[in-house]
Amino acid sequence: MAPHDGLTELEQLVMLSAIRLGDDAYAAEVRRDLGRAADRKVSAATVHVTLVRLERNGLLDSWETNPEPVRGGRSRRCFRPTREGVEALRRSRAVMDRMWDRVRGHPRLREA
Amino acid sequence: MRREPPEPGGARTPDRRPPRLALRLLRRLLPGHRGDELVVDLAEEYAGRAARSPWPVADVWYWIQVLRPSTTRLGRELSEVRTMRVGRHRVPGVAPKGLFDVLRYEARLAFRSLRQRPGFSTLVVLTLGLGIGANTGIFTVVSGVLLEPLAYPDPDGLVVVGLGPDLEGPATSMSLPDIVDLEEGASSLTTLVGYSGSTATLTGMGDPTLLPVGRVERGLLSTFHLAPVLGRDIAPGESGAAAAAVAVIGYEFWRDHFRSSPDVLGETIVLNGASYEIVGVAPHGFDFPDHTQVWYPRQIDPDTCARSCHTWYTIGRLAAGATVPGTQVEADAIATRLSQAFPETNLDKTFEVRTLQDVVVGRARRGLWLLLGAGLAVLLIACANVANLVLARAEARRGEAAVRAALGATRGRLIASMLSESTLLAVLGGAFGLALALGGVVVLRRLSAGAVPRIEMVTIDTRVLLFTLGLVCGVTFLFGLSPALRASRMALATGMRRSGRGVTSGGGRGLRRILTMTETALAIVLLFGAGLMLRTFAEMHAVDPGFETRRILRFDLYLPEASYPDLESIRSFFRTLEGRIAAQPGVEAVGSIYGAPLGEGRSSGHVFVDGRPEPPPGQEIGAVLSSVGPGYVRTMRIPVIRGRDLTPADDRSGTPVSLVNQAFAHAVFGDADPIGERVRVTVNFGFGSPYWEIVGVVGDVRASSLTEEPVPEIYVPQGQDGPGFMTVNIRSSRPARGLIGVVRSEVRRLDATVPLRNVETVTDAVRRDTASTRFLLAMLGAFAGLALVLAAVGLYGVMAYLVSQRVQEVGVRVALGARPGAILSLLMRGGLGPAAAGVGIGLLLSLAGGQLVEGLLYGVEARDPVTLGAVPLVLLVVAVLAVLVPALRATRVDPASVLRAE
């Protein structure tokens, strides 16, 4: 996927979650957040794949935290949307909004 | 920096660990630092689940997580990541671990790295492509001609028996009683059928045409394990004194002339004026021998020469389980028995059994294997060149290899990495070579027309593709493995220390010397072979054939017996035709002959002198009997040495006279004058007298081949004896081919039912005679030229590399006052040493392998001193030039700049 193509829904959710979580946006926390806020059960591997792909496409940046101050505590890789990432997210939303606008008041949607 | 899942007993660590096998699998799928993230996440979650649920639930869950497609996908994503940020640094991405992944990864790396060095890659691919292309091309011919079985059922069991020994040429003819005795006596032969190929004029079906026909002792089909598609084959009893007027026609003939009508049986065809009833149709594709389309029983006159007339060729079928050597043993025993029973005809007569394939391929075999060998030598030279290039490149990249080794790459991995580049180069070279071969085969077909039998069968098929694949694999290991092994060893041992300094290791120089030596030696062998062929060709062209070869047009005429039943009608036809053609502008002389030099049809028999006792059996003198028109000797500019030429007055009304050649005169009469002597020949054309008075001696001609010594020949006037088959020769003052149209119309004016055949110039016939030598010369010459160029490029490359490695040394020497001459000789010694050694080895190899080409040479010995002297000279001159250019450049080194660079 080229960096500026539209984002998939999962990618949008992951990016939105990363923005909300801020400095705590590491894979396991993103996954929990998706479960809580979006009612999405996603496997750990899927979250990792999505994060790595977004990073590879330059939409996320990542860094490693210092190890947690407990015995066996681990350092975690945290993610933060880049400027391009935020742009892409906005574009994806704009596309969705446009599509919704075009069907506003549509009888099918009223029935539903 | 791999972190283990949390240790038991830690603040957040539970007691249980994920299943070990699943964990290992997960690590394999997710290599490296980044993969650990998920490994640890899963381990944490596993711990939580294991604490909450009964035993196998968490384990099953863990396995599911490991086996999820998304886990594999993550592994792939991670291997795509070329650089990653760790803290503030960007580090190389993670290399994959599974075999398939490694291969894909290495292939991509190799491709990328070759694309970065287009010069190097192009040179290697071109070099390998030339080598592989040459081999694939030649192998295509070898495969189609030598390896492809004949297109008959069970071709291995088809044999030919001829009079031996004749190891290389086509099978010789046999006498019918001998054939019958062999078939009855040899248990390893199920059939042995006699036949003779010929041509006959077909009339009554549109324009008269000459057809190749088979006159057979009985039908050939059962021997070939075939059955007629319609009707029956010719029965054994149908040949003989009163041969039945029946014929079997070929499938194509049936299709073209009878529109494949099922009612063809019972129809008649007219051949040479005689009618034959069609009794059968041969299956599709059967045209043995020589594109024959009609077979009919051969008339056998029981009163004629029987065992002493060798006018039958044979085709036979081996019994199940029988072999050619076994059959040969039986044939030898029968030959011995016949020799005792019929000493007057069979003394010392031997039979030789050969497979049909062997006979068809004949002389071409040795030449083709030789060319394949030459092609492989070219490929080896190409490999040596490429190995040198790869070696130099590997040394230049020693630093890179050392870094990889330091980061934990194993030796196997480094070798794999270098080999994958070599493989990619070899594959590209193979593809280029295959493309070259595709074009080359077209050229080869044209070049080898007339020199190689079955050449029309030659195509690039699966066998050829497999051969090319084999070459690619072999080539990869030849040029890739040794440099890869060396470079990997170097990387592990010394790479880091020396990286960046232009010092070549002793081992590298040694390997390079061996490669240079090898390619020089191989180039010498090829040049030597080409040199011998060139000398052969020159010798052939220097041969005086004894007759005029330029500006002579000739063609064959076959007068059907039904319209020309006696000598007078034949004689008058040819005299009239000769007279009319001679009257054409530009024609200098016209003469006809039966038994034209380098042409078809020659009869030979024994010679007896009137008034002398007959020599005992086995000691007779043989001679070739030709029948010539009065202008023949003059037309062909054969010198009359003694006596007189034949004249139109030598006809039935006069004394039977003859001309003999010098070889005849010498063989029969020694130094005595043969003029006036009367000789008898055991063969005639059906009208001749028993004795011929010799009226003239003419010069020798090389009639069967330019490379064969003249044999005794006797020419009798066509007015006194001759067949209806003659070759008319026309000497012209203009290019001979211009006469073809006039000649055709003159023949048609005289008799529209007689077709012209084999219209050609004598120059064409000479070219045909030397075709196989020309083919071998062209091919070996091309290979030798290629070898020379490759060897020169190789030497140049090595020298340039060595010089570039010693620039600093040269700079220091110049600074210390060394003269350019001293520097030059120092550098050139280094380059020319291995070349000189290679020349020596190559000469030894050439001497040892000389006998391989012996049978293909003419007028030159396999250890020809001229070639032996010239070839090293050529190579050394090329080598000196190749070495001189980089060495000269080195002498112009500016010491100041070199020392500054230090």
Least confident of B312-321, B592-601, B679-688: B679-688
| Residue of chain A minimizing CA distance to B42 | A44
Answer whether A48 touches B (CB < 8 Å): yes
pLDDT of residue B700: 94
Asked if residues B772 and B367 have their Cβ atoms less than 8 Å apart, the reply is yes
Asked if residues B142 and B369 have their Cβ atoms less than 8 Å apart, the reply is yes
pLDDT-based confidence at residue B608 (cuts at 50, 70, 90):
confident
- Cis peptide bond upstream of B289, omega within 30: yes
Going by C-beta distance under 8 Å and a sequence separation of 6 or more, which residues neighbour residue A10? A40, A42, A46, A50
Show residues of chain B in contact with A32, CB under 8 Å: none
At position A111, the amino acid (one-letter code) is E
Contact call for A49 and B77, based on CB within 8 A: yes
Q: Give CA–CA dist B472/B437, Å, rounded.
A: 14
pLDDT-based confidence at residue B304 (cuts at 50, 70, 90):
low
pLDDT of residue B844: 92
Cβ count near B505 (within 10 Å):
15
Reduced to 3 DSSP states, what percent helix, strand and coil does chain A have, rounded to the nearest 5? 60, 10, 30
| Residue of chain B minimizing CA distance to A67 | B3
pLDDT of residue B803: 78
Q: Give CA–CA dist B402/B499, Å, rounded.
A: 8
Going by C-beta distance under 8 Å and a sequence separation of 6 or more, which residues neighbour residue B430? B128, B129, B132, B468, B469, B471, B472, B475
Show residues of chain A in contact with B38, CB under 8 Å: 27, 44-45, 48
Summarize pLDDT for B457-470 with one digit per residue, the tens. Answer: 788 888 888 998 89
pLDDT of residue B500: 42
Contact call for A62 and B85, based on CB within 8 A: yes
| Residue of chain A minimizing CA distance to B67 | A45
Q: Give CA–CA dist B589/B587, Å, rounded.
A: 6
DSSP string, B328-359: HHHHHHHHHHHHHH-HHHHTT-EEEEEEHHHH
Contact call for A52 and B34, based on CB within 8 A: yes
Q: Give CA–CA dist B131/B136, Å, rounded.
A: 9
How many Å separate Cα B270 from the centre of its chain?
41
Show residues of chain B in contact with A45, CB under 8 Å: 38, 65, 68, 70-71, 73-74
| Residue of chain A minimizing CA distance to B33 | A77
Show residues of chain A in contact with B6, CB under 8 Å: 72, 74
| Residue of chain A minimizing CA distance to B88 | A63
pLDDT of residue B618: 67
Show residues of chain A in contact with B26, CB under 8 Å: none
pLDDT of residue B708: 84
Q: Which of B3, B73, B85 sits opposite A74 (nearest CB)?
A: B3
Q: Which of A1, A42, A48 is the best mutation test for B, with the most CBs of B within 10 A?
A: A48
Show residues of chain A in contact with B68, CB under 8 Å: 43, 45-46
Residue B492 has pLDDT above 80, yes or no: no
Contact call for A72 and B86, based on CB within 8 A: no
- What is the DSSP-derived secondary structure letter of residue B154? S
| The length of chain A, given as a count of residues | 112
SS3 A108: helix
Least confident of B205-214, B400-409, B492-501: B492-501
pLDDT of residue B451: 76
pLDDT of residue B170: 57
Cβ count near B8 (within 10 Å):
12
Reduced to 3 DSSP states, what percent helix, strand and coil does chain B have, rounded to the nearest 5? 55, 15, 30
Going by C-beta distance under 8 Å and a sequence separation of 6 or more, which residues neighbour residue B103? B420
Q: Which of A41, A43, A55, A63 is the best mutation test for B, with the most CBs of B within 10 A?
A: A43
At position B376, the amino acid (one-letter code) is L
Going by C-beta distance under 8 Å and a sequence separation of 6 or more, which residues neighbour residue B744? B756
Contact call for B6 and A49, based on CB within 8 A: no
| Residue of chain B minimizing CA distance to A29 | B41
Burial of B407 (C-beta count, 10 Å sphere; 0-12/13-18/19+): exposed
Across B817-842, average pLDDT: 86
Give the sign of the dihedral formed by CA B478, CA B483, CA B486, CA B491: negative
Answer whether A63 touches B (CB < 8 Å): yes
Q: Are strands B603-609 and B230-231 parallel, antiparallel or unpaired?
A: unpaired
* Structure tokens that stand for B35 in this block: 């993969």
Contact call for B41 and A72, based on CB within 8 A: no
Residue B281 has pLDDT above 90, yes or no: yes
Show residues of chain B in contact with A74, CB under 8 Å: 3, 6, 40
Show residues of chain A in contact with B10, CB under 8 Å: 70-72
Cβ count near B742 (within 10 Å):
17
Interface A–B counts its CB contacts (< 8 A) at: 66
Contact call for B41 and A48, based on CB within 8 A: yes
Q: Give CA–CA dist B120/B140, Å, rounded.
A: 30
Across B482-510, average pLDDT: 60
Q: Which of B7, B17, B38 is the best mutation test for A, with the most CBs of A within 10 A?
A: B38
Show residues of chain A in contact with B65, CB under 8 Å: 43-45
Q: Would you give per-residue pLDDT tens digits along chain A (112 residues)?
A: 444 467 899 999 999 999 999 888 999 999 999 999 888 888 999 999 999 889 888 899 988 887 777 666 778 889 999 999 999 999 999 999 999 999 888 888 876 5
- What is the DSSP-derived secondary structure letter of residue B495? I
Q: What angle do CA B68, B70, B73 make, to 5 degrees?
A: 125
Q: Which of A74, A78, A79, A82 is the best mutation test for B, with the most CBs of B within 10 A?
A: A74
* Structure tokens that stand for B296 in this block: 């009919």
Q: How far is B69 from chain A (nearest CA, A)?
A: 9
At position B698, the amino acid (one-letter code) is V
Q: Which of B13, B41, B86 sits opposite A72 (nearest CB)?
A: B13
Q: What angle do CA B458, B461, B466 make, to 5 degrees?
A: 125
Asked if residues B457 and B368 have their Cβ atoms less than 8 Å apart, the reply is no
Show residues of chain A in contact with B81, CB under 8 Å: 52, 55-56
Summarize pLDDT for B324-354 with one digit per residue, the tens. Answer: 899 999 989 998 898 888 887 777 788 888 8
Going by C-beta distance under 8 Å and a sequence separation of 6 or more, which residues neighbour residue B158? B150, B152, B223, B224, B315, B316, B317, B318, B355, B356, B357
Measured in degrees and rounded to the nearest 5, phi and psi for residue B555 equal -155, 160
Q: What is the percentage of chain B residues whose pLDDT exceeds 90?
A: 17
* Structure tokens that stand for B390 in this block: 């790869």
HEC profile of B619-679: CCEEEEEEEECCCHHHHCCCCEEEECCCCCCCCCCCCCEEEEEHHHHHHHHCCCCCCCCEE
Q: Give CA–CA dist B571/B568, Å, rounded.
A: 5
Answer whether A27 touches B (CB < 8 Å): yes
Q: Give CA–CA dist B575/B650, Å, rounded.
A: 13
pLDDT of residue B4: 43
* pTM of the entire predicted model: 0.68
Answer whether A52 touches B (CB < 8 Å): yes
A9-65+76-106: what fold?
A: Arc Repressor Mutant, subunit A (1.10.10)
Going by C-beta distance under 8 Å and a sequence separation of 6 or more, which residues neighbour residue B636? B547, B548, B552, B591, B597, B701, B729, B731
Angle between helices B118-142 and B411-447 (to 10 degrees): 50
Q: Which of A28, A45, A56 sits opposite B80 (nearest CB)?
A: A56
Asked if residues B696 and B674 have their Cβ atoms less than 8 Å apart, the reply is no
Residue B422 has pLDDT above 60, yes or no: yes
Show residues of chain B in contact with A63, CB under 8 Å: 85, 87
pLDDT of residue B295: 92
Which residues, listed in sequence order, are joined to residue B161 by a DSSP beta bridge?
A: B353
SS3 A26: strand
| Residue of chain B minimizing CA distance to A31 | B41
Summarize pLDDT for B363-407 with one digit per residue, the tens. Answer: 778 888 888 888 888 988 888 888 888 887 777 777 777 777 777
Asked if residues B387 and B483 have their Cβ atoms less than 8 Å apart, the reply is yes
Going by C-beta distance under 8 Å and a sequence separation of 6 or more, which residues neighbour residue B752? B208
The residue whose two tokens read 């030059």 is B824
Q: Give CA–CA dist A57/A84, Å, rounded.
A: 10
Contact call for B78 and A52, based on CB within 8 A: yes
Asked if residues B93 and B81 have their Cβ atoms less than 8 Å apart, the reply is yes
SS3 B690: coil
Least confident of A55-64, B164-173, B528-537, B670-679: B164-173
The residue whose two tokens read 């016939």 is B765
Summarize pLDDT for B130-165 with one digit per residue, the tens. Answer: 999 989 988 988 888 888 888 888 888 999 988 876
Residue B91 has pLDDT above 50, yes or no: no
Pick the closest to residue B578 from B568, B564, B592 (CA basis). Answer: B592
pLDDT of residue B448: 78
Q: Which of B10, B40, B41 sits opposite A71 (nearest CB)?
A: B10
pLDDT-based confidence at residue B646 (cuts at 50, 70, 90):
very high
Residues of B with CB under 8 A from a CB of A: 3, 6-7, 10-13, 34, 37-38, 40-42, 44-45, 65, 68, 70-71, 73-74, 77-78, 80-81, 85-87
Q: Give CA–CA dist B417/B110, Å, rounded.
A: 8
pLDDT of residue B491: 63
Show residues of chain B in contact with A76, CB under 8 Å: 37
Show residues of chain B in contact with A77, CB under 8 Å: 34, 37
Asked if residues B44 and B3 have their Cβ atoms less than 8 Å apart, the reply is no
Q: Give CA–CA dist B326/B349, Å, rounded.
A: 19
Q: What angle do CA B686, B691, B696 make, to 5 degrees?
A: 110
The residue whose two tokens read 């089909």 is B221
How many Å separate Cα B182 from the centre of its chain?
34
Across B64-87, average pLDDT: 71
Show residues of chain B in contact with A27, CB under 8 Å: 37-38, 41
Q: What is the percentage of chain B residues whose pLDDT exceeds 70?
A: 91
| Residue of chain A minimizing CA distance to B29 | A45
Summarize pLDDT for B544-576 with one digit per residue, the tens. Answer: 899 998 899 999 988 877 788 888 999 999 999
